[in-house]
């Protein structure tokens, strides 16, 4: 449902209480949240960034999903994951062996990346959320709840159980033509775990959570809605959402800290893309050996064949596996290259006062770029699964190549580059939204809240 709120001369001041002021993290617009019912969401009227999404019984909902996800994770680790058999010789692996085998083959950094993104970080996220939800449902937050709540936003982008499922399916299709594959109980529980983890992250309303944990701090008075927060000396906390006036805060070394959650604030100070460009340069450097050196080395009946990323794609095409070839081509070549080019273009375009492409189109490109980066890990997970599963010496075995580490570094570096890019620079050259006079020295623009 879409609701258009036209500025009026007389609007009850309670509607825009100081507890409901927010700063859009993607365009720096100062806004007031509208009243939201269960199942509704509020979007920024300028960049269409989702500010808040309300759920029914948020604490109970998240608690139930968290417990179910933890159970499926425990089952996924405890039981066999995959097994294969060829001419009476085969192997059976558990989920954790996709990482431990890589350590034995001198690829500890790739193994750590697999273990962190698939098991450790999701477990940390789920246990943290469980701690918070238990405290909320019993009516009193447990100790250190605010410190634990601060970690949720940092962990979320690096959880890749859903990507691992796609990597498993690609691996299965790759070996089904030459061996009998059996799916263990852990495979099915892991698929459930990946789905439940996605639902759990979507169930968390951080805005509601922080209001429950600490509702005392309020936004400053005498602010202008519909204008840039940084122009008014304000900064919205990216962790808890509280609007802070910088002049009222004591600087801690180089950064001001939020009055509610004590996280460093990041007020907009103009276009500064040095960190993004440095990470992109490192990603480009690592992308060269990732494609030159083999990502995987396959031995079959004593014949050893190294396979680069592009070589693997061509092999799938030659064997008629077009869907898998397209998936690998997209995830391992098109996505990383497109992401690096898109971020380079965004770093350039934010310094241009005019452009033929609208600001809304540019922010959408940034969102797509940020979203697709994690899916490049498909190839890394394919290598991890095949290396662990196919271990039969000179008869048939798979080992990680030198390109595996380089490609893992490319994925991590491009993700960090997208995180470090400040999308607020896309909007700052634009004229502020015209405010309308409101009571208590607060102005409101023409707002479009999509609920």
C-alpha dihedral sign at 401, 406, 409, 410: negative
CA–CA distance, 184 with 79 (Å, rounded to integer): 7
Cα separations in angstroms, 278 against 283, 339, 343, 409: 9, 15, 12, 14
For 274-425, which CATH class?
mainly alpha
Residue 183 backbone phi and psi in degrees, to 5: -90, 125
Cβ–Cβ under 8 Å, residues 100 and 111: yes
Q: What is the DSSP string of 168-187?
A: HHHHHHHHHTTSEEEE-HHH
Q: Considering only CA atoms, which of 43, 11, 46 is closest in space to residue 226?
A: 46
Kindly give, in sequence order, each residue whose CB lies less than 8 Å from that of residue 290, ignoring residues fewer than 6 positions away.
309, 403, 406, 407, 409, 410
Residue 147 backbone phi and psi in degrees, to 5: -65, -40
Residue 115 DSSP class = H
Cβ–Cβ under 8 Å, residues 87 and 396: no
**Tens digit of each residue's pLDDT, the chain (451 residues):** 333 333 322 233 344 567 788 999 999 999 888 888 888 888 898 889 988 888 888 899 999 999 999 999 999 999 999 988 877 777 888 999 999 999 988 899 999 999 999 999 999 999 999 999 999 998 888 999 999 999 998 999 999 999 999 999 988 887 877 778 889 999 999 999 999 999 999 999 888 899 888 887 888 888 888 888 988 889 999 898 899 998 887 776 567 888 888 889 888 888 888 999 999 999 999 999 998 999 888 877 667 788 888 887 887 787 777 777 888 888 888 889 999 999 999 998 887 766 677 888 889 999 999 888 888 899 899 999 988 888 776 677 888 888 999 999 999 999 999 999 999 988 875 433 433 323 333 333 333 343 3
Q: Where in the chain is the domain with CATH 1.20.140?
A: 58-208, 274-425
For 58-208, which CATH class?
mainly alpha
Catalogue the E-assigned strands of 163-312.
Answer: 180-183, 234-236, 243-245, 296-300, 303-307
Cβ–Cβ under 8 Å, residues 24 and 432: no
**Which residues is 304 bridged to in the sheet?**
299
Q: Considering only CA atoms, which of 65, 95, 91 is closest in space to residue 79?
A: 95
């Amino acid at each position: 449902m879409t609701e258009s709120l036209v500025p009026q001369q007389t609007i009850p001041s309670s509607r825009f209480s100081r507890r409901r002021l927010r700063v859009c993290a993607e365009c720096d617009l100062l806004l007031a949240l509208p009243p939201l019912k269960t199942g509704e969401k509020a979007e920024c009227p300028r960049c269409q960034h989702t500010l808040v999404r309300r759920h029914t019984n948020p604490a109970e909902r998240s608690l139930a999903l968290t417990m179910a996800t933890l159970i499926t994770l425990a089952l996924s680790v405890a039981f066999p994951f995959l097994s294969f058999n060829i001419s009476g010789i085969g192997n059976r692996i558990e989920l954790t062996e996709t990482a431990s085998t890589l350590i034995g083959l001198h690829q500890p950094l790739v193994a750590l990346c697999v273990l962190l993104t698939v098991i450790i970080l999701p477990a940390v996220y789920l246990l943290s959320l469980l701690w918070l939800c238990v405290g909320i449902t019993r009516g009193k937050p447990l100790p250190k709840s605010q410190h634990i709540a601060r970690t949720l936003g940092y962990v979320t982008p690096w959880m890749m159980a859903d990507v691992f499922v796609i990597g498993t399916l690609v691996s299965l299709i790759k070996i089904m033509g030459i061996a009998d594959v059996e799916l263990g109980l852990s495979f099915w529980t892991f698929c459930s775990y990946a789905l439940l983890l996605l639902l759990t992250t979507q169930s968390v309303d951080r805005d509601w959570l922080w209001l429950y944990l600490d509702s005392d701090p309020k936004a400053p008075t005498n602010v202008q809605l519909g204008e840039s927060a940084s122009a008014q000396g304000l900064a919205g906390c990216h962790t808890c959402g509280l609007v802070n006036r910088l002049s009222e805060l004591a600087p801690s070394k180089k950064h001001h800290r939020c009055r509610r959650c004590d996280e460093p604030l990041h007020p907009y100070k103009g276009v500064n893309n040095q960190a993004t460009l440095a990470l992109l340069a490192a990603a480009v450097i690592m992308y060269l050996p990732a494609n030159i050196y083999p990502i995987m080395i396959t031995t079959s009946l004593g014949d050893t064949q190294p396979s680069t990323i592009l070589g693997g794609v061509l092999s799938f095409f030659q064997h008629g596996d077009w869907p898998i070839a397209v998936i690998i081509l997209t995830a391992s070549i098109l996505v990383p290259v497109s992401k690096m080019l898109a971020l380079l273009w965004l770093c350039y375009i934010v310094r241009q006062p005019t452009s033929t492409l609208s600001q809304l189109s540019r922010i959408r490109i940034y969102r797509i770029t940020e979203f697709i980066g994690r899916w490049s890990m498909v190839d890394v997970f394919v290598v991890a699964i095949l290396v662990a599963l196919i271990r039969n010496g000179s008869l048939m075995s798979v080992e990680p190549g030198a390109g595996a580490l380089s490609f893992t570094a490319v994925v991590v570096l491009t993700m960090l580059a997208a995180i470090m890019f400040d999308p607020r620079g896309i909007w700052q050259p634009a004229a502020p939204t015209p405010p309308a006079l409101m009571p208590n020295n607060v102005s409101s623009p023409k707002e479009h809240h999509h609920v």
